[in-house]
A and B are shown apart, each in its own frame.
Chain A
Amino acid sequence: MRLGIRGKVACVILICMVPVLVLGVLLSLQQDQGRRNLVLRTQQDAAHTLASDFSTFVENTVHAELAAGSAVESQPYPVVGIVQLLASIRAYDTSFLWLGLIMPDGRVEASAPPGDAYTNVATHWAFAAVRAGAPWAAGVISAPNRRPELEVATGIPEGPRLAAVVDGVVDLTRVRPMLPTGLASDMDGIIVDNGGRVVFDLRRPGRPVNALASLPAVQAALRGQPSMIEGYRDAAAGGPQIGAAVPIADLRWAAVVLEPERTALAPVRRGGQEELGWVVAAVGLGVFLAWVLGAELTAPIVALANGARAIGRGEVGYRVRMRRTDELGELGTAFNEMSERLARSHAEINALQSVSDAALSTVRLDELLARLVQHIASALRADGGTVWFVDDATGDLIVPQDSDTGAAGARRLARGEGLAGRVADGGRALVLSGEEAFRALDPRLLAQGVRAAACVPLRVGGRVIGVLELIARGERDFRAQDVRLIEAFADRVALAVDNARAYGRQREIAGVIQEALVPTPSVRLPGMAIAGRYVPSREVGGDFYAVLPLGHGRVGLAIADVTGKGIPAATLSARARYLLEAFVLDGRPSEAVVARMNAVLTRDAASGLFVSLFYGMVDPEAGTLRYTRAGHPAPFLLRAGVQAPEALDAPGLLLGVDPAARYPAVEVQVGPGDLLAMFTDGITEARRPDGELFGDQRLVDTLIELREAQPERIADEIMAAVGRWSGDGPTDDQALVIARVLPWGANVGERSAREHAVR
């Protein structure tokens, strides 16, 4: 599992909490001991109470006996009277089982109830103790099969002499109601005598007499030392018991309190558990707070991570929102600054890219400059810009048309004049701002409301060919980084300008060559009406056609396509064209013309170019068309009165591929009204934007539809249909020749046909 920072912080807190937890447990244990002691103290107090209650009870008994004895001694009662007195005391204090007046010699003077139940009391320890001088003494009378009874003997003094002893036997069961039982319900109160024997047991009267005799605490109490009892077990009670044993004053007996540990220590346990609960709760709260605070701590980190990701995705300029003043807040601020700088340089790169794209988008200089200046001005938030060119002849700066998007006014600056002139002369970038500077250097710009300007040279191969000037009308300083950017733009502008100029020169050359090749569009010969169309693509290609009068009314018709574009294609086209003109002279058969063309062009193998050619010779008088095809799309011959056209598709390889290629000739019959359509693949392979080709069939359909029309119109319609088809100007040269065979002799007044046909 991967722990986030929050998890780790919580873990650290948890680990830090461990000592606290241990300390808590230790403290709790110590507290437990304290509480346990408190419980024991409580039990000791209960034992003291029990002891004092028992003492009080015994003292009360002693007082009762003393009162009875004193009453007897104060006046000479007859024995019967004494018995009556004792009986009345017994009646009053029902705890007395027996009450007797005993003479110091051990004789029982009187007793209630009368009889001899306790005649031997004089042999008891209590009587002996009193006779030995104790003011009173208590003892236990125990006999087999009888519950122990308490015997209290009180001396009745008469001066220094012992007059008599009042001896009472007390029913210990009568003690219970007389004891104020301040004991908890689970606590047992026990009185043991000086021999450790159980005299009285509050809750368990059946406890064996010697059950507690051997307990060290009981023995200690009998020695006068209050003691705790811990871990006492007896069979009847089950679990361990705790309690206390304390001496009973004056009696040398002990009061014992016992309580099962389970109930006695329940509050201790509860307290401990509670404390432990608090400690655990505190630790839990700590971890929870760590988690929550961790969120507070990690939220900005997560936000920063998201920000970094966003920038990774290209969302430069992404800002993280952070309202903090600590180190993380600082990091956020740094991040935002970085993002902003990235966005700025991204925008600069984009602007450079768009300028580069614009530089590549067209090779027409005027369009190009307008676009470039617009892009650059918007990238730099400038109000306009101008590209000035150095006029090679004079050294002046001039503005070509359309290159100015903001600065009106002068179109020509003398050498060294104004900001642009200085930059062109010095070859170094300059920045102007403030009215004073403009007044001194370029009042022309000041007059136009310009308040800041940056101007950098355009260089091609180290030569300054012009300058790029950017202006701002409002408050705007061009800083060093702006200038660097403008210089980067300027490099691209210079390259684009150079490229456009070079292309323009090339195109001009190719155009001149090509212009020389294309015949006049419309030719009328004695036996034929011919319409030719040629539309060059943007890049000069190598299509051409030729209409060649060959004497005796015969006409050579050729159409050709040279592979490739530009000057190589144009020159090869010219070469092919002149070869053709030379070879067709004297009406040489088509197969011979084509074979010779191939022989010559194959030798030009180095060019890697080849030529497709269709050459046919129409003899209107004989009514024949003899043709040879060399890899060129087959022309269509639509005969008068025949529904579908015939493709003139005699086999034959492209020219320039194989010197040994054979080119057969095919001769077909033609008659007045027959229509011949020759074309290059620029027509049939004109592409609609969705990629579909114009194709043979559309050409054939148009041909059939317009079969009665003049060749001029047929040619126009076909070119228009093809133009509509491809929409955005031809990507390949398009050449088309429509020829109709006329009734022989229809065109009297034939001038020099050659003049018409070939320029």
Chain B
Amino acid sequence: MELQIGARTEGTVTVIDVAGEIDLYTAPRLEEALTRGAAGAPPLLVVNLSKTTYMDSTALRVLTAALKRIHERDGTLALVSTQSKIGKLFTITGLDQVFPIYSTEPEAIEKARAHGSRQP
């Protein structure tokens, strides 16, 4: 399935919806969306992967690189994952310990917002 990326704002939080497959060829689009979404100060991002059907290591690299940049600016990048195969990928790679991962979007947004309000 073709990758479809949409971005929207929920108050201070930017939510990026990712539907379809992220691989070597489509990952640059995710990277672009993440860069654009991380414009806030601090950047508060939620990437909703509940409609993502496939991810490979390139996608992980893009997400991880974005996470590093966002952490440097005291922001947060939370993920929403409802599918076991996507969740499994994070478990295998240990990235479930690096990314805050939530099973519902409102929870992810709430946590991201809370993170933002803790910042000075």
Contact = CB atoms under 8 A, between A and B. Distances in A.
Given A605-B68, A608-B65, A657-B64, A564 B58 contact: yes
B56 A653 contact: no
Interface stretch (B2-10, B94-102, B108-116): B94-102
A564 B95 CA distance: 18
Given A631-B94, A632-B92, A612 B68 contact: no
Contacts of B95: 631, 653-654, 657
A653 B57 contact: no
A652 B94 contact: yes
B68 A631 contact: no
A563 B94 contact: no
Given A632-B92, A653-B95, A608 B61 contact: yes
Contacts of A605: 68
B60 interface: yes
A151 interface: no
Nearest to A611: B57
B35 interface: no
A653 B97 CA distance: 8
Interface in A587-634: 605, 608-610, 612, 629-634
B104 interface: no
Interface in A636-653: 649, 651-653
A436 interface: no
B93 interface: yes
B41 interface: no
Given A608-B65, A631-B92, A657-B64, A563 B57 contact: yes
Interface string B47-88: 000000010111011001100100000000000000000000
Interface string A646-666: 000101111001100100000
B24 interface: yes
A193 interface: no
A53 interface: no
Given A631-B93, A633-B92, A681-B56, A658 B98 contact: yes
Contacts of A632: 92-93
Contacts of B93: 612, 631-632, 653-654
Nearest to A609: B61
Contacts of B54: 691
Nearest to A605: B68
Given A608-B65, A631-B92, A563 B97 contact: no
A201 interface: no
Nearest to B92: A633
Contacts of A610: 60-61, 64
A563 B58 contact: yes
Nearest to B65: A608
Contacts of B57: 561, 563, 612, 681
Nearest to A651: B94
A649 B98 CA distance: 17
A627 to B, nearest CB: 14
A660 to B, nearest CB: 11
B64 A630 contact: no
A565 interface: yes
A658 B93 CA distance: 12
Contacts of B56: 681, 685, 732
Contacts of B97: 651, 653, 661
A634 B93 CA distance: 10
A561 B97 CA distance: 20
Interface residues of B, number: 16
Contacts of A563: 57-58, 60-61
A632 B64 CA distance: 16
Contacts of A651: 94, 97
Interface string B28-43: 0000000000000000
Contacts of A658: 98
Contacts of B65: 608
B60 A654 contact: yes
A612 B60 CA distance: 12
Contacts of A565: 24
Given A631-B93, A633-B92, A653 B61 contact: no
Nearest to A732: B56
A9 to B, nearest CB: 53
A630 B94 CA distance: 7
Most chain A CB atoms below 10 A, which of B56, B57, B58:
B57
A651 B94 CA distance: 6
A608 B28 CA distance: 13
A629 to B, nearest CB: 8
Nearest to B93: A631
A629 B91 CA distance: 11
A564 B61 contact: yes
A477 B97 CA distance: 72
A86 B56 CA distance: 151
B113 to A, nearest CB: 25
Interface string A662-693: 00000000000000000001000100000100
Interface string A538-569: 00000000000000000000000101110000
A475 B57 CA distance: 59
Nearest to A696: B88
Nearest to A650: B94
Interface in A560-590: 561, 563-565
Contacts of A732: 56
Contact of A653 (B24, B58, B68, B94): B94
B38 to A, nearest CB: 16
Contacts of B60: 563, 610, 654
A661 B24 CA distance: 26
A700 B64 CA distance: 30
A629 B58 CA distance: 20
Given A608-B61, A610-B64, A657 B98 contact: yes
Interface string A273-288: 0000000000000000
A598 to B, nearest CB: 11
A661 B98 CA distance: 9
A654 B94 contact: yes
A40 B21 CA distance: 103
Contacts of B61: 563-564, 608-610
B92 A653 contact: no
B3 to A, nearest CB: 14
Nearest to B53: A691
A612 B92 CA distance: 10
Contacts of B94: 629-631, 651-654, 661
A658 to B, nearest CB: 6
A661 B96 CA distance: 12
A649 to B, nearest CB: 8
Contacts of B24: 565
Nearest to B24: A565
A633 B60 CA distance: 14
Contacts of B92: 631-634, 649
B27 to A, nearest CB: 10
Nearest to A653: B94
Contacts of B58: 563-564
B104 to A, nearest CB: 24
Interface in A681-714: 681, 685, 691
A137 to B, nearest CB: 126
Most chain A CB atoms below 10 A, which of B60, B68, B92, B98:
B92
Contacts of A661: 94, 97
A699 to B, nearest CB: 14
Interface of A: 561, 563-565, 605, 608-610, 612, 629-634, 649, 651-654, 657-658, 661, 681, 685, 691, 732
Given A608-B65, A654-B64, 5 more contacts: A561-B57, A563-B57, A632-B93, A652-B94, A661-B97
Which 8 residue pairs spanning A and B have beta carbons closest together? Answer: A653-B94, A631-B93, A563-B57, A631-B94, A563-B61, A654-B93, A652-B94, A608-B65
5 contacts: A563-B58, A563-B61, A649-B92, A653-B94, A654-B64
